[in-house]
A and B are shown apart, each in its own frame.
Chain A
Amino acid sequence: MEAPRIGPQRPGTTVVEVDGRVSIYNPETQQLVSLNDTATAVWSLSTGEFTLDQIVSSLARTYAASGEDIRPDVIGAVALLSECGLLTSAPE
């Protein structure tokens, strides 16, 4: 079975980026979510094109870290984005 893709991002949100960090307002929940560096990077890759493994690999290269080390942070960021209703679909 094909691995699920992360995203895409929920349409209709208001996104602001300040010095590399993103804050997202979700009008449906009326919540503002401020992301840390990892979550900001995960958000940018949550286009519906990439699987969790592909995002882990991409960020591991970006941060020169091992995939094993970075995977829990990526999983946490995807969970946060999903819980806050910022992704239109979430991994199974």
Chain B
Amino acid sequence: MDATRIQLDVLGTLVALSGPTAIVDRVRHAWQPFPEHAGTPAHSYEFAAGSTVRRDGSPIEAEAGVDQILRFATDLNQLVLAGTSCFAVHAGVVARNGRALAFPAASGTGKSTMTAACLRLGWEYVSDEALLLDFDDGLVRPYPRPLALSPWSAEAVGLQVPPGQTELLATAADLGAEVCTDRPALTDVVLLTRGKVASASLSPRHSAEAVQTLLSMSFNHYRWPADSVSMVGRVAQDVRVHVLLYDDPLAGAAALDDLPS
């Protein structure tokens, strides 16, 4: 069996991957926005027989039946977010014309689906996982990992999860979108509320809610609490907060087009 080894730089986390060429090529394709590197990797992943993935020689724990690449994706994501020097918020993020929209939300509440739906409607892809704000200037640093879509989410945006896989790892290109390559400013925080409604609607909330929302959904504010509060307070001065009530994700994404730029 052909074997391949590559090294990726994912927001400064340097990793090496080795395994069957078919699998490594899938990883290379899905993580295409991140450059390959020739430095010394901090961690090495090995795609072994069956569904086993080892990081630095130890198998990655995962539920039975989870695809190898999904195991890798979950583990790598944890490394990247643990290592970031940015303020990181659990959120989907899209961008257009230098402005970024964030959907802060817990897992399973629709942020990846809404992110994918926005990409279908021409927004640029920033992340389906984390809003990363740079402490120096408050601008957004893109983290365009492959979007992790459940079967329902994939179908909602016109994609399908391949047989035998629990989730689809989709690229921006799979959704007909571009990856955001600049550093947009966060201008809107959108709180997602999904329910049985005839049409999607946006309603404004007080901008101060951005402070509470971004801090409560942060992965790492506890590392630099005072700096995080100060930075979020600065960023929130120019952020609008909305509640998006929607049923169909594509209709919800279309409602976001009504936001004034």
Chain B, interface size category, equals 10 to 19
What is the interface of chain A mostly: helix, strand, loop, or mixed? Answer: strand
Pick out which of these stretches binds chain B: A27-35, A43-51, A59-67, A75-83: A27-35
Q: Which residues of A contact B232 (CB under 8 A)?
A: 16
B207 touches A19 (CB 8 A): yes
Q: State in angstroms the CA–CA spacing of A32 and B233 once bound together.
A: 12
* B221-256 interface with A by 8 A CB criterion: 222, 225-226, 229-230, 232-234, 236-237
Q: State in angstroms the CA–CA spacing of A64 and B216 once bound together.
A: 35
What is the interface of chain B mostly: helix, strand, loop, or mixed? Answer: helix
Checking B208, B226, B234, B237 against A34 with a beta-carbon cut-off of 8 angstroms, the contacting residue is: B208
Q: Which residue of A lies closest to B211 (CB)?
A: A23
Per-residue A-contact encoding for B174-209, CB less than 8 Å = 1, 0 else: 000000000000000000000000000000001111
B124–chain A nearest beta-carbon distance, Å: 27
B229 touches A23 (CB 8 A): yes
Chain B interface (Cβ within 8 Å of chain A)?
Answer: 206-212, 215-216, 222, 225-226, 229-230, 232-234, 236-237
A40–chain B nearest beta-carbon distance, Å: 9
A21 touches B230 (CB 8 A): no
Given A27-B225, A30-B222, A32-B215: A18 in contact with B210 (beta carbons within 8 A): yes
Q: What are 11 A-B interface contacts by the 8 Å CB criterion?
A: A16-B211, A16-B230, A16-B233, A16-B234, A18-B237, A19-B237, A22-B208, A23-B208, A32-B212, A32-B215, A32-B229
